[in-house]
Amino acid sequence: MRITVTVNGQPHTRDVEPRLLLVHFLRDELGLTGTHWGCDTSNCGVCTVHLDGVPVKSCTVLAVMADGHEVTTVEGLERDGELDVVQRGFVECHGLQCGFCTPGMLLTARWLLDRRPDPDEAEIREAISGQLCRCTGYENIVRSIRWAAEAQS
Amino acid sequence: MHRKEDARFIRGRGTYVDDVRLPGMLHGAVLRSPHAHARIVSVDVSAAEAHPKVRAVITGQTLAGLNLAWMPTLSNDVQAVLATDKVRFQGQEVAFVVAEDRYAARDALELIEVEYEPLDAVVDARTALAPGAPLIRDDLEGKADNHIFDWEAGDRDRTAAIFEEAEVTVAQDMLYPRVHPAPLETCGAVADFDKVTGKLTVWCPTQAPHAHRTLYAMVAGLPEHKIRVISPDIGGGFGGKVGIYPGYVCAIVGSIVTGRPVKWMEDRSENLMSTAFARDYHMRGEVAATRDGRVRAIRVKVLADHGAFNGTAQPTKFPAGFFHVFTGSYDLESAHCEVSGVYTNKAPGGVAYACSFRVTEAVYLVERMMDVLAAELGVDPAELRMRNLLRPDQFPYTSPTGWEYDSGDYPKALRLAMDMAGYDKLRAEQAGKRARGELMGIGVSFFTEAVGAGPRKHMDILGLGMADGAELRVHPTGKAVLRVSCQSQGQGHETTFAQIVGHELGIPADDVEVVHGDTDQTPFGLGTYGSRSTPVSGAAAAIVARKVRDRAKLVAAAMLEASPDDLEWGDGRWSVVGDPSSGRSLAEIALAAHSNLELPEGVEGHLDAVTVYNPPNLTYPFGAYICAVDVDPGTGQVKVRRFVAVDDCGVRINPTIVEGQIHGGLADGIGMALMQVMAFDEDGNHLGASFMDYLLPTSMECPSWELGETVSPSPFHPIGAKGVGESATVGSPAAVVNAVVDALAPYGVRHADMPLTPANVWRTVNGDPFRTDLAIP
């Protein structure tokens, strides 16, 4: 099937099999390898991207379903050489270690702050509960998102 | 300082193995056994070979022709790369397909016909040695049973004598269930064999790239200088990426066979089913004590389930790792342990998941036993520990099983944790709740770790001594490159090792680039696991920097036309004693070292050094943990309300990174204590082989951690630093379990096995606990 997906503002047209997962479309077809793949049951969330502004697990979306839609990946968070405030928050508060869950966490954090500019700890924990991290024990991710909320207000 | 690694990771610019793309690269996939134990009657790959996108199908027979059907393990056993005679665990590798893309490779797996003749499986380790138990390893010459090894440590007779005369003895059976480190990035490899140069390059997320290179050379008969292992950014290791897996060998063979690069990436269920598990120790602990709560001796018997191949990663002389540190933080008269390993029809592994070579099991055993004894004596668990902790003046302390603990002030750490937790208030709150029929529990765990393997005389991996090299080169403009053999998987080595060198040379850490993970570029060493990076490579980094500083002194002497004996180091400069204005910074000295400055006889110029650090001892970090839980008596649901963790790892190179390490390990403790288990049914079907069933803690199960620290430097380490990465994983499960058992005390519960899921807690309360590792009771 021929599809056109706008990724980080850039339209991409490709012929793909209907069964191709969006995560593999992004990684293998477009070379956007910031989006990771960590499980095969839609639990871990390291593949999280925005589809029309909403976080989705791209391992659970077919590339053809994204035809005509807008996708944002971690590579699209930085604008004009300026890091997104959530990216800065994760650096400031040591919200990452191996970095494998980080792209997905960042996109969920961005989505959360777009909707709730001043989330409390419980709201942050609930927002990221669909995403596993094996390194940080979550504490510094929560702090990173709080830092970002305060920095952007 | 901010981590250097973060800049690329927050932008999606890390390079993990599945991000590697080479021209002409093919994709491999592994066909796996649906049976736990079955004879292979036939393998028909003709339909798969006929698939238009398939470039090669490799079977056990293909590998047997290359003498590669079996490979050595890290425990001097052998493991099937692709099964030839029979399969010995569910998920075992049977065939390997190489195709043009990853989807086609998976399609082709379904075209392979394997005829199996099912055999009875050994699932419960307790029955592995029973007469008539199915024989798993009939490939081993003369092997007639499922026994692997017996090993013991300590003084058997003296310990027995103390038990005979002791005022009080307690005993408890406990299982540390089989779990899995489950790094978010699974294992995989990109193998590229260049027929023209004869050079094999393997990108692989290995924690020990140099050991991999040497083993590939030994196994495949390739010359070692023609093998380059590149460990790129790794998405977590936790011990799951130490050994060599069959998929790596298959990718290498696939590349040799097809003449093209071959990528193999396992998926999550493959990772959980076939890569190194952790724990699976069936332990019986016994404690002998005085009536007033002096612990005199501990005796332990362990049955260790190692799966179908003994692939346990540990130093050669230690088949049960460092389990014999089980005397923990206490001053005992004597101790003894016996460990027996058995084969079962499960995946190999055992040492993984931040265990520090079985210290997780050792600490869990002793910290559970202390609570069992406390319950028997009616003494508060914190008070019982305080009475028995080693005193600061006893260090260096030789334990009854022969470990020489380096340093510590244990009572101080426990008191700090109790103060932070408000221990007495917590106990009062608990009493109030109990009176109202509510279940609240408080768990204490005081642990001593043993990390930094290790002294070459005693410790080797397959004959490779556990020393690590470091090379440091200072460029003419004063910027430095440090090359090390350890291999970060998120622990922040690129930052902390730069800090060590920067501190020693008086230059900014940002001016030090840390190179790791490429065997063509870095000095030999055994890699990162067992929290050994700071104890071994960290020491090497400090020492190589001091060597450079010493060389710089000779150059500075030439610059200043002074005797080296008249120079002193201070403020990042060499200067003439008593004349700070004469000082020359390292950058100035580096430029001079590369210039036409006339140097004394024997000084070669340039500014670099190499070293190999052979540690004189392990380091022994320790910690005091206190956990408070609420348990819902109606559902058995456990809520971890608070977790206080005081860690002492000596000098902290980067406190922020240390705290992050501890946070992650504490989450491991919650996961193991409450959620994680690899269970099997009676046929050996793996019941926890996906994240649907193998549960990992999310942000919702973890409380906000409360950390404290004390500092007891390691006296022999060049910068006084001890390892810490695994401390929290080692120390925290007992704190959580102790808290839950404490909460259930009104029901007469003295022990319950992990994971304390709602179902297990509910059944424990109702007097009907089940075996958590087996679907059958």
Nearest to B10 among A96, A126, A130 (CB): A96
DSSP state of A134: S
Same domain, A12 and A45: yes
Same domain, A67 and A9: yes
Q: Is A57 near chain B, with CB under 8 Å?
A: no
Q: Is A98 near chain B, with CB under 8 Å?
A: yes
Nearest to A134 among B11, B184, B491 (CB): B184
Please give the structure tokens belonging to residue B646.
């005081």
Q: Do B6 and A99 touch (CB under 8 A)?
A: yes
Q: Do B691 and A41 touch (CB under 8 A)?
A: yes
Q: Per this entry, what is the length of chain A?
A: 153
Domain of A124, CATH number, reads 1.10.150.120
The residue type of B658 is V
Position B219 pLDDT exceeds 90: no
Chain B residues in contact with A121 by the CB 8 A cut-off are: 704
Range of the domain at A28: 2-75
Give chain A's radius of gyration (CA, Å). 15
Position B776 pLDDT exceeds 60: no
User: In Å, how far are A57, A128, A132, B484 from B699, measured between CA atoms?
Assistant: 17, 7, 8, 34
- Taking residues B690-702, report their average pLDDT: 97
Same domain, A46 and A102: no
The residue type of B348 is P
Same domain, A6 and A71: yes
User: In Å, how far are B183, B449, B511 from A34, measured between CA atoms?
Assistant: 17, 36, 27
CB contact at 8 A, B648 and B710: yes
CA distance B736 to B611: 43
Sorted by sequence, the CB contacts under 8 Å of residue B142 that are 6+ apart come out as none
Q: Do B660 and A97 touch (CB under 8 A)?
A: yes
CB contact at 8 A, B136 and B80: no
The predicted pLDDT at position B221 comes to 86
Sorted by sequence, the CB contacts under 8 Å of residue B196 that are 6+ apart come out as none
DSSP per-residue string spanning B394-434: G-SEE-TTS-EE----HHHHHHHHHHHHTHHHHHHHHHHHH
DSSP state of B135: P
ipTM exceeds 0.85, yes or no: yes
Flag the least confident range among B85-99, B218-232, B392-406.
B218-232
Position B36 pLDDT exceeds 90: yes
Q: What is the pTM of this model?
A: 0.98
Q: Do B10 and A102 touch (CB under 8 A)?
A: yes
Nearest to B540 by CA among B491, B458, B609: B609
Helical packing angle, B727-743 and B359-377, nearest 10°: 30
Q: Give just the sign of the alpha carbon dihedral B515, B518, B520, B524.
A: positive
Chain A residues in contact with B692 by the CB 8 A cut-off are: 41, 43
Nearest to A91 among B2, B490, B664 (CB): B2
CB atoms within 10 A of CB B457: 9
CA distance B629 to B68: 51
CA distance B452 to B624: 20
**A41-73 tens-digit pLDDT:** 999 999 999 999 999 999 999 999 999 999 999
- Across the A:B interface, residue pairs with CB atoms under 8 Å apart total 179
CA distance B462 to B311: 12
The predicted pLDDT at position B777 comes to 46
Nearest to B666 among A131, A137, A140 (CB): A137
Same domain, A136 and A106: yes
- Final residue in a domain of this structure, among A51, A75, A99: A75
Same domain, A7 and A62: yes
The predicted pLDDT at position B461 comes to 92
CA within 13 Å, CB half, A132: 24
Position B772 pLDDT exceeds 90: no
Q: For residue A137, tell me if it sits in a domain.
A: yes
CB contact at 8 A, B529 and B452: no
CA distance B15 to B17: 7
Chain A residues in contact with B2 by the CB 8 A cut-off are: 91-92
Same domain, A63 and A103: no
Q: For residue A49, tell me if it sits in a domain.
A: yes
Position B421 pLDDT exceeds 80: yes
Q: Do A44 and B184 touch (CB under 8 A)?
A: yes
Same domain, A24 and A62: yes
- Final residue in a domain of this structure, among A75, A94, A117: A75
User: In Å, how far are B357, B581, B749, B756, B763 from B768, measured between CA atoms?
Assistant: 33, 79, 11, 13, 5
Nearest to B23 by CA among B231, B244, B166, B192: B192
Please give the structure tokens belonging to residue B451.
């990390």
Q: Domain count of chain A?
A: 2
Position A74 pLDDT exceeds 80: yes
Same domain, A111 and A64: no
Please give the structure tokens belonging to residue A141.
């991710």
CA distance B509 to chain A (A): 17
Q: Do A94 and B656 touch (CB under 8 A)?
A: yes
Nearest to B274 by CA among B343, B357, B187: B187
DSSP state of B524: -
**B123-157 tens-digit pLDDT:** 999 999 999 999 999 999 999 999 999 999 999 99
Q: Give just the sign of the alpha carbon dihedral B367, B371, B373, B378.
A: positive
- Taking residues B231-252, report their average pLDDT: 97
Chain B residues in contact with A36 by the CB 8 A cut-off are: 16, 18, 184-185, 235
Same domain, A24 and A67: yes
Nearest to A38 among B21, B184, B233 (CB): B184
- Taking residues B590-605, report their average pLDDT: 95
Position B259 pLDDT exceeds 70: yes
Which of B101, B106, B699 would you mutate first to test chain A, the one with the most A CBs within 10 A?
B699
CA distance B560 to chain A (A): 43
CA distance A132 to chain B (A): 6
Chain B CA closest to residue A92: B2
Please give the structure tokens belonging to residue B338.
């016996």
Position B672 pLDDT exceeds 60: yes
- Final residue in a domain of this structure, among A16, A45, A75: A75
Q: For residue A19, tell me if it sits in a domain.
A: yes
H helices, E strands: number in chain A? 5, 5
Position B552 pLDDT exceeds 80: yes
CA distance B514 to B498: 6
Q: For residue A12, tell me if it sits in a domain.
A: yes
Same domain, A136 and A104: yes
The predicted pLDDT at position B419 comes to 98
Q: For residue A116, tell me if it sits in a domain.
A: yes
Mean pLDDT of chain B: 97
Same domain, A119 and A142: yes
Nearest to B9 among A39, A83, A99 (CB): A99
Q: For residue A34, tell me if it sits in a domain.
A: yes
CB contact at 8 A, B336 and B296: no
Q: For residue A80, tell me if it sits in a domain.
A: no
Q: Do A34 and B11 touch (CB under 8 A)?
A: yes
Which of B2, B9, B25 would you mutate first to test chain A, the one with the most A CBs within 10 A?
B9
Domain of A12, CATH number, reads 3.10.20.30
CB atoms within 10 A of CB B114: 20
Position B756 pLDDT exceeds 90: yes
Sorted by sequence, the CB contacts under 8 Å of residue A113 that are 6+ apart come out as A85, A86, A119, A145, A148, A149, A152
CB contact at 8 A, B313 and B390: no
The predicted pLDDT at position A104 comes to 98
Q: For residue A127, tell me if it sits in a domain.
A: yes
CA distance B598 to B243: 50
3-class state of residue B87 by DSSP: strand
Q: What are phi and psi of B463, to 5 degrees?
A: 90, -5
Q: Do A36 and B103 touch (CB under 8 A)?
A: no
